[in-house]
Amino acid sequence: MDMLLQFVANGLVSGAFYALSALGLTLIFGLMRVVNFAHGELYMLGGVMGWLATTVLGLNFFAGLALTLAVMGACGWLVDRFLIERVRDQGEEPSILLTIGLSIFLTNTALLLVGTAPLTIEGPLPNKPVFLGPVVLTELRVFAVAACAVLILAAHLVIRHTRLGRAMRATFQDPMAARLAGINTARVYASTFALGTMLAASAGMLLGSIYSTHVSAGGLVSLKAFVVVILGGMGSFAGAIVGGLILGVAEALWGGYISTGTVDIIGFIIVILTLIFKPYGLFSTQVERA
């Protein structure tokens, strides 16, 4: 039983990062209907930017995180205004090809700049053990999970209780009606892509402080984020959170009891089962199903 509790705790830690990263994809993929295959590379760039800010520039972790969010938010805004906007009304295929090309460009640019070696980000807390009954975590992991929760809550408040959030929801429900009401939908789309980029980048930096980050991590992160979005339901905020936690715990149990070498297969199993029994996701709405 103690081992089971430890596996579940480890899975919840991983699931918090999956949820934070998938929230960005939920905004971009589930609401904007942009199939963003460069989402994992934006996550990777968040880790690289965090390493540059804390190691090269010498900033502390919190200043580095603020700088990373500002830079990556600006990058997300520019990507939408100068790239995504050109294919927005042309169906899904152009956005797929565009974001695949963007992911290749970002990966190879990062390879040229920082190389292939793992990059370690200095965290704000030491890796001292924290005992929660039979479960053992570290101070840094507890902090990172708490930071994920704060960022998720902040994103929820922005979407639900700000003027920008209301404009975002109106635009996603009916873009034409939103434009007739005076909403600058181009700015709303750019702001949404920027917010999704910031969420992915923050997950990359936080996870890099626990383990390490490297430029080839984007593909696997994109895969896991799509698994979470499909499981939770496209456009569902709660679905991204619950889906991320489910995937994290499932991977931890699979790795603990079956095999760590095949742990990534659990994502494919979850997608297959979801498409068979709940094809619109656990938290799909009636509008989404329609």
Q: What pLDDT does 30 receive?
A: 66
Strands (E), the chain: 129-132, 135-138
Which of 174, 196, 170, 239 is closest to 28 using CA atoms?
196
**Structural domain of residue 262, as residue ranges?**
2-289
Q: What is the chain's pLDDT, residue by residue, as a tens digit (290 residues)? A: 778 999 999 999 999 999 998 998 888 876 677 888 999 999 999 999 999 999 989 899 999 999 999 999 999 999 999 999 888 878 778 888 999 999 999 999 999 989 888 898 988 887 788 888 888 888 989 999 999 999 999 999 998 889 988 998 888 888 889 898 899 988 999 999 999 999 999 999 999 888 888 898 888 888 899 999 889 887 788 888 999 999 999 999 999 888 888 888 998 999 999 989 988 888 865 545 54
CA distance 152 to 167: 19
CA 89 to chain centre: 24
Which of 150, 161, 164, 163 is closest to 77 using CA atoms?
164
Q: What are phi and psi of 130, to 5 degrees?
A: -125, 120
CA distance 67 to 52: 10
CA distance 55 to 57: 6
Are 281 and 239 in contact, with CB atoms under 8 Å apart?
Answer: yes
CA distance 8 to 133: 13
Return the structure tokens found at 288: 């989404």
Q: Which CATH number does the domain housing residue 131 bear? A: 1.10.3470
Q: Which residues contact 231 (CB under 8 A, 6 or more apart)?
A: 239, 243, 246, 247, 270, 271, 274, 281, 282
Which of 207, 24, 113, 213 is closest to 105 using CA atoms?
113
Q: What's the first-to-final CA gap in the chain, in angstroms?
A: 44
Which pTM value belongs to this model? Answer: 0.90
Q: What pLDDT does 90 receive?
A: 81
Q: What pLDDT does 290 receive?
A: 47
Domain count across the chain: 1
The residue type found at 60 is N
